Structure 1
Amino acid sequence: MNGDQERETALAEAVRLRADGRAAEARVQLLALCERYPRDAEIAYQTAWAHDVLGLESEAVPFYERALSVPGLPAEDRHGAFLGLGSTYRVLGRYEPALRTLRRGLAEFPHDPALESFLAMALYNTGQGREAVRTLLRALAATSNDPRVRGYRRAIEQYADDLDATQQP
């Protein structure tokens, strides 16, 4: 088996272990793969994810950062890395890096409701409640399938921009 096949097989096995609820075993394999392939974005991302699943958020951060700093991460995984890193920073109380990361994610994946939701939480954590509500209202208006919300979409979007608006008598 050549190096690429070995990498693919080992990575697939580690991902399967994590998916099967054996994240601790996956973590061990992924850490070994990171040693062997230090500039592999996909391996770094999967390693970060395994750490997050195990509640090892602080240890996940450098792997998320690595995954986003080197080329080669497929778009879906890149989206997941922005979401994972941003939410991990927020959980760790590192709100400013969370905001930067989630905004970077939204620059690449505009109007993504998952990124917007985590951005809203980080905005709230930094005392920016008005912007947090605005962000959530826009995401709700854009993504809700509820017919009543859809019926008021324009009004929700309008009020999101001016939360204090009232009708004058």
Structure 2
Amino acid sequence: MSAQKKDELLAEAVRLREQGHPEQAREHLLSLTATFPDAADIAYQTAWVHDVLGLEAEAVPYYERSLQGDGLTDEERQGALLGLGSTYRVLGRFGQAVETLRRGVSEFPDDGALRTFLSMALFNTGEHHEAMRLLLHLTATTSEDPQVQRYRAAIEYYAADLTQTM
């Protein structure tokens, strides 16, 4: 099968998922995965559709495969790191979730979603101070709420250590 045909079939599977037909998309993607077992983009989309269907345990090996090598765009890699970290968290694999999401934040430091999911995983591992620090910093730097911005300096000060007093 040509690379062009592969890309067309992958695009069709993505369209099916986006149009609310995840089961059909899954069938297409599993077939493509069998034909192209080393294609990172196919593995990523296969993982994603499994997550959409609530089949998180089945999504993990596809996410892991997608992150091996260099086959993803930056946007796909960002999504795969978030998807895998979030999926590990849902499955109760909190340590792996933190490790994966930390890697995501390291590679994509401006991604607020990665930082948010990392804070949830940190909460699950009992690292409440770091979880709150991340969320408070994210709130202070991204909120457009005028009241949050009014107190931004104080929020950022306390984000460093909630046990501090002024």
Give me the TM-score of the superposition, normalised by structure 1. 0.95
The CA deviation at 1:40 is: 0.9
For residues 26-82 of structure 1, the C-alpha deviation after alignment (integer angstroms, 9 at most, x for no partner) is 001101111111111111100000000000000000000111112120111111101
Larger mean Cα displacement after TM superposition, 141-150 or 99-108? 141-150
RMSD between aligned residues: 1.0
Distance 1:143 1:67 in 2: 30
1:141-156 correspondence to structure 2 within 5 Å: 141-156=140-155
Contact 2:97/2:121, CA 8 A, preserved across alignment: yes
Residue ranges of structure 1 left out of the alignment (5+ in a row): none
Residue in structure 2 matched with residue 45 of structure 1 by the alignment: 44
Contact 2:98/2:122, CA 8 A, preserved across alignment: yes
Residue in structure 2 matched with residue 3 of structure 1 by the alignment: 2
Instruction: State the AA in 1 paired with 2:135.
Output: L
Residue in structure 1 matched with residue 92 of structure 2 by the alignment: 93
Residue ranges of structure 2 left out of the alignment (5+ in a row): none
Larger mean Cα displacement after TM superposition, 148-157 or 18-27? 148-157
Residue in structure 1 matched with residue 61 of structure 2 by the alignment: 62
Instruction: State the AA in 2 paired with 1:98.
Output: A
Contact 1:111/1:139, CA 8 A, preserved across alignment: no
1:12-23 correspondence to structure 2 within 5 Å: 12-23=11-22
Equivalent residue pairs, number = 166
The CA deviation at 1:126 is: 0.8
The CA deviation at 1:111 is: 3.6
Distance 2:43 2:8 in 1: 16
Q: Secondary structure at the match of 1:32?
A: helix
Q: Secondary structure at the match of 2:162?
A: coil
Question: Identity over the aligned pairs, expressed in percent?
Answer: 59
Distance 2:161 2:20 in 1: 46
The CA deviation at 1:153 is: 1.5
Residue in structure 1 matched with residue 108 of structure 2 by the alignment: 109
Contact 1:86/1:101, CA 8 A, preserved across alignment: yes
The CA deviation at 1:166 is: 1.7
Give me the TM-score of the superposition, normalised by structure 2. 0.96
Instruction: State the AA in 2 paired with 1:29.
Output: H
1:129-140 correspondence to structure 2 within 5 Å: 129-140=128-139
Distance 2:54 2:73 in 1: 25
